[in-house]
Amino acid sequence: MAHLFNPLTIKEMTLKNRIVMSPMCMYSCEKKDGKVTNWHKTHYTSRAVGQVGLIIVEATAVTPQGRISEQDLGIWSDEHVEGLAELVRLVHEQDAKIGIQIAHAGRKSQVSGPIAAPSAVPFSETSKMPEALSADQVAETVHAFVSAAARAKQAGFDVIEIHAAHGYLINQFLSPLANHRDDGYGGDAERRYRFLREIVDGIRRIWDGPLFVRISANEYHPEGNSIEQYVEYARKMKDQGVDLVDCSSGSVVNYPITAYPGYQVPYAEAIKRQAGILTGAVGLITEPAHAEEIVAGGRADLVFLARELLREPYWPRLAAKALGHELAAPKQYTRGW
């Protein structure tokens, strides 16, 4: 049997296979209100029909200023719960699990008005100058993440993923390249971790379901965090009750990187082995045999696919055929599967 189609149980949740739809912003809230639209319902449900085991809804903003763009999904208000709950119901009807990535863009936000970051350091020469968060604002932002998680719980999500990658706000706190603070939230690695620590602790007080954290395990800069630092951070996450580390990389600063199929898998492997926590591998994984090798080889527990699932929402069917696994069709499709 193909390992890619082995179930995985995390807490009370059992995933029917190891195939995850990686979070992808759809920039489809035309009314700029952060609410779920028909596009989201069709888009995510299609991948559930395609037999993806776990779908992670795109970066969803915990505050309006934490959006990347004004078309982002939001979870900063109770008014967002109804649409998100509908999305959960639709995906559950197709027998898939669904998670949500909660996010704050920090200095990478492109919304109008002031934007915030750990320090007044812009992302690039052409980016807007962010305002450094005061201690009170840091506490308010931690609270915004926890309130977002409470709404995700209310909406019925199976998984909450904290977006701590790609140079967005949490990553800005973690990285010495963006965090120049000299209070309790900046300085050494432990203090730079404090913002994420408080978010995880706060969420763990109200959510006992599966909790994932997405990280940028390499900042590809001589003065940035490396995988060794992230193994340390992953150990802390594990101690705090995080269930899985989703291992991406880069985008903290504009720094050239060489990407090739599976280029981030070694990060998932290192963290899994050295921190003893479940991991997800992501990045240019498109071939069924490659995905199978990652899971079968114990290099990661879940395989996240992004662009390949945009091109081919029924990728699990193709993978099953390629790996000689008999994958049950949705009953409506049995004549054509």
Asked if 318 interacts with ligand FMN (CB under 6 A), we say no
Cα-trace Rg, the chain? 19
Q: Which residues pair with 14 in a beta bridge?
A: 9
Kindly state the smallest distance separating residue 52's Cβ from ligand FMN, in Å. 13
| Given 148, 282, 295, 303, the residue binding ligand FMN (CB under 6 A) | 282
Q: Which stretch binds ligand FMN (CB under 6 A): 223-231, 267-275, 299-307, 326-334?
A: 299-307
Helix (H, G, I), strand (E, B) or coil at 99: strand
Kindly state the smallest distance separating residue 24's Cβ from ligand FMN, in Å. 4
Q: 1: which 2 tokens? A: 């049997």
Nearer to ligand FMN, 181 or 269 (CB): 269
Asked if 43 interacts with ligand FMN (CB under 6 A), we say no
Taking CA 308 as the corner, what is the angle to CA 323 and CA 281, rounded to the nearest 5 degrees? 75
Spatial contact of 151 and 78, defined as CB atoms under 8 Å apart: yes
| DSSP H helical ranges for 175-314 | 189-206, 227-239, 265-275, 288-296, 307-311
Taking the C-alpha atoms of residue 235 and residue 228, their distance in angstroms, rounded to an integer, is: 11
Token pair 């010495």: residue: 176
Q: How many CB atoms lie within 10 A of CB 193?
A: 21
Task: Indicate the burial class of 67 (C-beta count within 10 angstroms; 0-12, 13-18, 19 or more).
Answer: buried
| Given 50, 283, 288, 313, the residue binding ligand FMN (CB under 6 A) | 283
Nearest CA to 128 out of 111, 145, 153 is that of: 111
Kindly state the smallest distance separating residue 26's Cβ from ligand FMN, in Å. 7
Which residue sits closest to ligand FMN, CB atoms considered?
306
Binding mask 153-192 for ligand FMN (x = CB under 6 A): ----------x-xx--------------------------
Nearest CA to 211 out of 165, 247, 244 is that of: 244
Tell me phi and psi for residue 178, to 5 degrees. Answer: -120, -20
Spatial contact of 246 and 213, defined as CB atoms under 8 Å apart: yes
Kindly state the smallest distance separating residue 334's Cβ from ligand FMN, in Å. 29
| DSSP H helical ranges for 29-134 | 38-49, 81-93
| Given 59, 96, 105, 291, the residue binding ligand FMN (CB under 6 A) | 59
Kindly state the smallest distance separating residue 327's Cβ from ligand FMN, in Å. 20
Kindly state the smallest distance separating residue 309's Cβ from ligand FMN, in Å. 8
Kindly state the smallest distance separating residue 183's Cβ from ligand FMN, in Å. 28
Q: Which stretch binds ligand FMN (CB under 6 A): 32-40, 84-92, 145-153, 301-309?
A: 301-309
Binding mask 92-131 for ligand FMN (x = CB under 6 A): ---------x------------------------------
Per-residue burial over 199-232, b if 16 or more Cβ lie within 10 Å, else e, is bbebbeeebebbbbbbbbbbbbbeebbebebbbb
User: Restricting to residues 1-30, which ones interact with ligand FMN according to CB under 6 A?
Assistant: 22-25
Residue type for position 188? D
Kindly state the smallest distance separating residue 13's Cβ from ligand FMN, in Å. 20
Binding mask 206-235 for ligand FMN (x = CB under 6 A): --------x---------------------
Binding mask 253-272 for ligand FMN (x = CB under 6 A): --------------------
Question: Would you tell me which residues interact with ligand FMN (CB under 6 A)?
Answer: 22-25, 58-59, 101, 163, 165-166, 214, 248, 282-285, 305-308
